[in-house]
């Protein structure tokens, strides 16, 4: 099966600009996650979708970050306006529904804010 697709792979923007990331999960996977991984740290969950509904967005900085998952398939994560501290790798993952399902990760989008 095809893996989780993310684009772009790399993005460099200036602070206060906007940026959007796209994720296409594995077909049939109901749960989709966006993680932020700052260099030297573990992935931090930003938002979790179940189909097109939000399950958890408690760590999403909602003043600047937004995410949507239309039709319960693809998802976009947007940052507006970006800050220097947003520089990180943004990882998308998807799983089937259930208590023990492997989370499949995309390769991530490396964002550099200058």
Partner 1 sequence: GEDVEQSLFLSVREGDSSVINCTYTDSSSTYLYWYKQEPGAGLQLLTYIFSNMDMKQDQRLTVLLNKKDKHLSLRIADTQTGDSAIYFCAEIVSGTYKYIFGTGTRLKVLA
Start-to-end CA distance of the chain, whole Å, equals: 37
Q: Peptide bond preceding 41: is omega within 30 degrees of 0, i.e. cis?
A: no
Closer to partner 1 by CB, 55 or 84: give it: 55
Judged by CB under 8 A, the stretch of 15-23, 69-77, 79-87, 104-112 that binds partner 1 is 104-112
Contact at 8 Å (CB) between 23 and 75?
yes
Rg (Cα) of the chain, in Å, rounded? Answer: 13
Residue 55 makes contact with partner 1 by CB under 8 A = yes
Each residue 59-98 as x (binds partner 1 by CB under 8 A) or -, in order, gives --------------------------------x-x-x-xx
The answer for 5, left when phi > 0, alpha when psi is -120 to 50, beta otherwise, is beta
- Of these, 21, 29, 36, 48, which contacts partner 1 (CB under 8 A)? 48
The pairing of beta strand 75-79 with beta strand 65-68: antiparallel
Binding-site ranges for partner 1 (CB under 8 A): 4, 31, 33, 35, 40-45, 48, 50, 55-56, 91, 93, 95, 97-103, 105-108
């Amino acid at each position: 099966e095809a893996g989780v697709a993310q684009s772009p792979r790399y993005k460099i923007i200036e602070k206060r600009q906007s940026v959007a990331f796209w994720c296409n999960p594995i077909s049939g996977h109901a749960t989709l996650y966006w993680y932020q991984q700052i260099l030297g740290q573990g992935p931090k969950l930003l938002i979790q979708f179940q189909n097109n509904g939000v399950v958890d967005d408690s760590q999403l900085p909602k003043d600047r970050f937004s995410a949507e998952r239309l039709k319960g398939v693809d998802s976009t994560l947007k940052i507006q306006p970006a800050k220097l501290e947003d520089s990180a790798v943004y990882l998308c993952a998807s799983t089937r529904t259930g208590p023990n399902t492997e989370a499949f990760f995309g390769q991530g989008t490396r964002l550099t804010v200058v």
